[in-house]
């Protein structure tokens, strides 16, 4: 059980174009402190190969598609995001890596904390040590 969760967001369909939204209190299990986005990813590249100690995140494929590969030290799971009205909630303490970005894809990430380099666990073996699961 990684604790990751896909959350469906409102979709207001309209023949002028659709509209979706999220509100921190209603749709996201944390208070938003920061947003960043990943774009112009060259074919075959991956981003975000790390874990966080404290921060929670919510990831949306605003445009195009990509995969979010999750690992809690015991179980691995792949979420393919390709709709802008679904977001993936990730609690702290998960190894996560994003890959398979389609051309012109845009990943929006909202986070429960401001940027803090100290919150990062970089390196998979450090992550396993952190989880108390080093082989």
Distance of closest approach, residue 68 Cβ to ligand TYD, in angstroms:
12
Beta bridge partners of 120: 52
Catalytic hit among 27, 45, 50, 56: 50
User: Between residues 85 and 120, which has the closer beta carbon with respect to ligand TYD?
Assistant: 120
By CB atoms closer than 10 A (0-12, 13-18, 19+), residue 98 is buried
Interacting positions 34-63 with ligand TYD (CB under 6 A): 34, 36, 47-50
Q: Interface mask (CB under 6 A) for ligand TYD, residues 62-101, using x and -?
A: ----------------------------------------
Distance of closest approach, residue 50 Cβ to ligand TYD, in angstroms:
5
| d(C-alpha 27, C-alpha 39), whole Å | 24
27 is catalytic: no
Determine the size of the site formed for ligand TYD (CB under 6 A): 7
Q: What is the DSSP letter of 102?
A: P
DSSP 79-130: EEE--TTEEEEE-SS-EEEEE-PPTT-EEEEEESS---GGGEE-SHHHHHHH
By annotation, the residues acting in catalysis are 50
Binding residues for ligand TYD, rule: CB under 6 A, are 34, 36, 47-50, 115
């Amino acid at each position: 059980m990684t604790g990751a969760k896909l959350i469906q967001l409102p979709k207001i369909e309209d023949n002028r174009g659709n509209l979706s939204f999220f509100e921190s209190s209603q749709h996201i299990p944390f208070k938003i402190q920061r947003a960043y986005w990943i774009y112009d990813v060259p074919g075959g590249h991956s981003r975000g190969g790390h874990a966080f100690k404290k921060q929670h995140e919510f990831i949306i494929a605003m445009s195009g598609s990509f995969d979010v590969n999750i690992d809690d030290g015991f179980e691995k799971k792949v979420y393919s995001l390709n709709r802008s009205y679904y977001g993936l909630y990730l609690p702290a303490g998960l190894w996560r890596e994003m890959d398979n970005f389609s051309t012109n894809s845009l990943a929006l990430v909202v986070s429960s904390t401001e940027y803090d380099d100290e919150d990062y666990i970089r390196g998979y073996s450090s992550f396993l040590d952190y989880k108390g699961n080093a082989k």
